[in-house]
Copies of this chain bind each other. A is one copy, B any other.
Amino acid sequence: MKFIDLDKTVSYTGLLELAGKKIDLKTLLTPERVEKCSVPAGGGLAYNWAAKWVDENVLEALEKLSGEMELIAKYRALLSGEVMNTGEGRMVLHHLLRGQLEKDVIHQGKNIGEFYRKELARFAAFADKVRSGEIVPAPGKRYTAVCQIGIGGSDLGPRALALALENWAAVEGKKTLRAEFISNVDPDDASRLASLLPLSETLFILVSKSGTTQETLTNELFIKDKLARAGLDPAKHMAAVTSETSPLANNPGYLDSFYFDDFIGGRYSSSSGVGGVILSLAFGSDVFKEFLAGAHEADKLALEPSIVKNAALLDALIGVWERNFLNLPYTAILPYSQALSRFPAHLQQLDMESNGKRVNRDGKPVAYSTGPVVFGEPGTNGQHSFYQLLHQGTDCVPLQFVGFLESQRGDDISVDGSGSQTKLKANLAAQITAFALGKEDANGNKHFPGGRPSSLLYGKRLTPQTLGALLAHFENKVMFQGFIWNVNSFDQEGVQLGKVLARKILKKQSSGSGDPVLDAYGSLLGI
């Protein structure tokens, strides 16, 4: 298995040549193509790429690239426990949280899959006991709310997923515990939630892999202080999710502690206890297990070598085609589902933190663009907002739509002969068409150039399984793109410098930090 930079591949030149030949999306996009260009993505989802700037020649060249770069072999190597996080010398095992696809991964004599399964069983049992009232905050009391204290990977994914399942759980008759999140070191964040939550009935979940995250530890003390002032025992109101080697591990100050390890990156940790504890508490451990099953199904599909049969791989390749050959520096994520309102923020982290790298896995600068800027808001809301630029701006932004045939709650109203869900879907179909085909108009103001490419991930209804597959689809897409760009998608050294400088200015407030520019900004801000 060979790791080479994208511009050193044979396929690179071929793709550059193809990019020179303008593909006319308006001719390419036929109804037959819409019917033909769907591929299963797991959990009942399908990925449709009919409205992408990809013809048979491009497809063939991308297939060659996939073969030349041994993308499936690299995925299998990752699954088998090869050290793919080269910078930190770590394996990358988040897939194993959802099921096993290759041989056992043994590390220092420990079967990692067994460890993950054991922790899953432990926190599922814990959640069941909290939900059944076997574990209570005080005699005669019940936990009615859970609140995660975490940031970044310990926040954005779990938060997006909890929101995504709230409506589904409500109508499926699941008992639901209120789920909240504290993340920012801004004291207004923790103070607000402490004032809104019923503290005596709230179980806080402290999440930090290293056990040293400044924001999270500060917010833990903030909340413990509030609990103590309310006459409550913090140990009855806090559980921890951390690594076994962290200072938080085995601490009698928590109701219980659940573990994951260095082979699970923060932004890939929603399938571990980081997402699992709060989702199991809020909706039930069975719901979280369905979520894992959906993700596992997507992981399995991602093993398929033929690119038109592998949704995540194809999505990844098309993204690289757009980024490196069509030179489009951004991607918008546009879910037509209010339940996915915070999903784009999670994908923004997943993608930009994984592939926003300027050096390859050996630490050498690459000579091409890597990860794009990712942003998005739910439709139809975005239609009344930034879509103006997407339709008629000077630049082309590739789009990724997500939509569902049915709503989650099934509570609908017919107005002017159609239900709201049908209107939502009609808008989605209309937007894809409008972006691709445009509309000629002699009035420049009303002219739509069209030729703006999009893809569509669609499924029957947003269930836990579908949600798991949706998350895994994007995780796998990002992984394949990392392989293509030959970067390490699993570290985040770019977050370190800011941390170091923040500590510097906090430690030396009186005499200066030794960095005069930093001190000058500090004094603007009154520190």
Contact = CB atoms under 8 A, between A and B. Distances in A.
Contact of A380 (B151, B443, B488, B519): B151
A251 to B, nearest CB: 17
A395 B225 CA distance: 43
A369 interface: yes
Contact of A222 (B352, B362, B420): B420
Contacts of A330: 329-330, 373
Interface string A402-428: 010101110111011111111111111
B363 A444 contact: yes
B371 A393 contact: yes
A342 to B, nearest CB: 10
A215 B397 CA distance: 25
A385 B349 contact: yes
B443 A517 contact: no
A486 to B, nearest CB: 13
Interface in A512-527: 515-522, 524-527
B188 A425 contact: no
B445 A381 contact: no
Interface stretch (A11-19, A111-119, A240-248, A353-361): A353-361
A448 interface: yes
Contacts of A519: 31
A341 to B, nearest CB: 8
Contacts of A369: 394-395
A388 B494 contact: yes
Contacts of A444: 358-359, 362-365
B394 A370 contact: yes
Given A373-B375, A381-B151, A506-B423, A352 B449 contact: no
Contacts of A433: 501, 515, 517-518, 521
A281 to B, nearest CB: 20
Given A187-B407, A352-B393, A432-B521, A387 B445 contact: no
Interface in A417-467: 417-434, 436-439, 443-449, 456, 458
Nearest to A364: B444
A366 interface: yes
A337 B526 CA distance: 16
A189 B411 CA distance: 10
B422 A506 contact: yes
Contacts of A437: 517
Contact of A505 (B384, B430, B506): B430
A57 interface: no
A345 B405 CA distance: 27
A221 interface: yes
Contacts of A100: none
Contacts of A520: 31, 34-35, 50
24 contacts: A29-B517, A31-B520, A48-B524, A152-B383, A184-B380, A186-B336, A190-B420, A219-B420, A221-B413, A225-B413, A266-B384, A329-B329, A352-B388, A356-B393, A373-B375, A373-B397, A391-B494, A425-B522, A426-B502, A427-B498, A428-B525, A429-B522, A430-B499, A445-B488
A210 interface: no
Contact of A186 (B266, B337, B418): B337
A38 interface: yes
Q: Is the interface of A mostly helix, strand, loop or mixed?
A: helix
Contacts of A191: 167, 407, 409, 411-412
A144 to B, nearest CB: 15
A220 B514 CA distance: 60
A390 B356 contact: yes
A427 B186 CA distance: 11
A438 B167 CA distance: 45
Contact of A195 (B170, B370, B381): B170
A386 B348 contact: yes
A222 B413 contact: yes
A423 B498 CA distance: 12
Given A34-B521, A187-B412, A348-B385, 4 more contacts: A29-B517, A356-B386, A429-B525, A433-B521
Contacts of A502: 423, 426-427, 429-430
Contacts of A186: 336-339, 378, 380, 407, 420-421, 424
A108 to B, nearest CB: 25
Nearest to A509: B418
A306 interface: no
A394 to B, nearest CB: 5
Contact of A525 (B339, B377, B405, B419): B405
A1 interface: no
Nearest to A361: B445
A6 to B, nearest CB: 12
